[in-house]
Amino acid sequence: MSKKASIQFNWVFILVAGAIFIIFFTTIALKYKSIQEEKTNLEILNNLDTAITSLQSSPFKTTTSINLPLATRFTCTNNRQAIKIGNTQYPTSNIVSAPEKLKGEVILSSTQLSLPFKIATLYYILPASQQYIFVYNDQTREKLENIRQDLSLLENIAYEQEPVEEQPEATYIYLTSPGKNKIRLSDTSITFPGKEPLPYYNNQHLYSLLFSHQPECISSIIQQELAAKTKLYINKISMLQSQDCNYALISSKISQLPQNPQLQNQEAIIQLNKQLINQDCPAVF
């Protein structure tokens, strides 16, 4: 082999070896990055799970906070929710109301949804830096006091009497009659800008819609849970029925719940349940 050919061979060898080393170390680096991202994702999921578990186990009304180092989204599609971190989605069976994107410190709270018996546990996750302001007037002061009591542990909730001068970084919820491009509450529905009113059946139901960026999907999930729980109680009533205890009326009222969960029907069911207890009959709930 000539000296020139030898030099050419050495250069080819160096180039090929260099390319192999570059590919090898690039692959290792990408794999390491992927592992680290997955590790961070799992840490976020574990922290969320721990926080939710602490809320479930507490006998008192409480809140907790955690830090989300990466952008975290809660998606809702076809009545199914998932936690999305980066390009990876993790399904969750919890009903979670949250803004479109969360990052940094967040506050978690939970409440029981009863219509009138327990339907589900609802979770709210809010950015600690985001302020929500309820706007009221003299006519809506009583409703405001109920909301204030329910949300008393959330430090980023404020209340202002109209007229107000809006701050661009805050989210305003009007218990009055503002312009069209505002979040508006009535006694039975919530209206988001550019959307049709969504009905709600108690304050807990309301908050799950208010704090979600996909309230229509959350509403549909709750309706699905209501139908499932109604079926369970109808089956329970069929086992409780006896000659001494007549459950026909309460059974009829409960079977109407998925189509008629209004407060009047809920109160009727509560009274019928109390009547059964006073007659020494087993309670439905």
Please check whether residues 245 and 137 belong to one and the same domain: no
Question: What pLDDT, on a 0 to 100 scale, did the predictor assign at position 88?
Answer: 85
Give residue 32's pLDDT band: very low, low, confident or very high (50, 70, 90).
very low
26 falls within a domain: no
**Span 46-63, average pLDDT:** 83
Question: What pLDDT, on a 0 to 100 scale, did the predictor assign at position 44?
Answer: 86
Of the three residues 200, 220, 240, the one that is the final residue of a domain is: 220
239 falls within a domain: yes
CB neighbour burial string for 90-123, b if at least 16 within 10 angstroms, e if fewer: eebebbbbbbeebeeebbbbbbebbbbbebbebb
Contacts by 62-67, CB closer than 8 A, 24 or more apart: 62/109, 62/153, 63/107, 63/108, 63/109, 63/153, 63/154, 64/107, 64/108, 65/105, 65/106, 65/107, 65/108, 65/128, 66/105, 66/106, 66/108, 67/104, 67/105, 67/106
Please check whether residues 58 and 91 belong to one and the same domain: yes
Please check whether residues 191 and 266 belong to one and the same domain: no
Of the three residues 192, 220, 248, the one that is the final residue of a domain is: 220
Please check whether residues 246 and 272 belong to one and the same domain: yes
CA neighbours closer than 13 Å in the CB half-sphere of residue 40: 15
252 falls within a domain: yes
146 falls within a domain: yes
Number of structural domains the chain divides into: 2
Please check whether residues 178 and 107 belong to one and the same domain: yes
Please check whether residues 207 and 270 belong to one and the same domain: no
Please check whether residues 72 and 95 belong to one and the same domain: yes
Give residue 197's pLDDT band: very low, low, confident or very high (50, 70, 90).
very high
Of the three residues 196, 220, 244, the one that is the final residue of a domain is: 220
Please check whether residues 71 and 50 belong to one and the same domain: yes
> What is d(CA 239, CA 66) in angstroms, rounded to the nearest whole number?
45
Please check whether residues 253 and 216 belong to one and the same domain: no
Please check whether residues 65 and 132 belong to one and the same domain: yes
Question: What pLDDT, on a 0 to 100 scale, did the predictor assign at position 31?
Answer: 53
Please check whether residues 196 and 228 belong to one and the same domain: no
Computed over every residue of the chain, the mean pLDDT equals 87
pLDDT single digits (tens) 200-231: 999 999 999 999 999 999 999 999 999 999 99
Please give the C-alpha separations between residue 146 and each of 21, 134, 204, 224, 273, in angstroms, as whole numbers: 67, 12, 11, 27, 25
Q: Which domain holds residue 66?
A: 42-220
7 falls within a domain: no
> What is d(CA 231, CA 15) in angstroms, rounded to the nearest whole number?
71
155 falls within a domain: yes
64 falls within a domain: yes
Please check whether residues 144 and 186 belong to one and the same domain: yes
Which of 178 and 81 is assigned the larger pLDDT?
Answer: 81
Question: What pLDDT, on a 0 to 100 scale, did the predictor assign at position 11?
Answer: 59
59 falls within a domain: yes
pLDDT single digits (tens) 152-196: 999 999 999 998 999 989 999 999 887 667 899 998 999 999 899
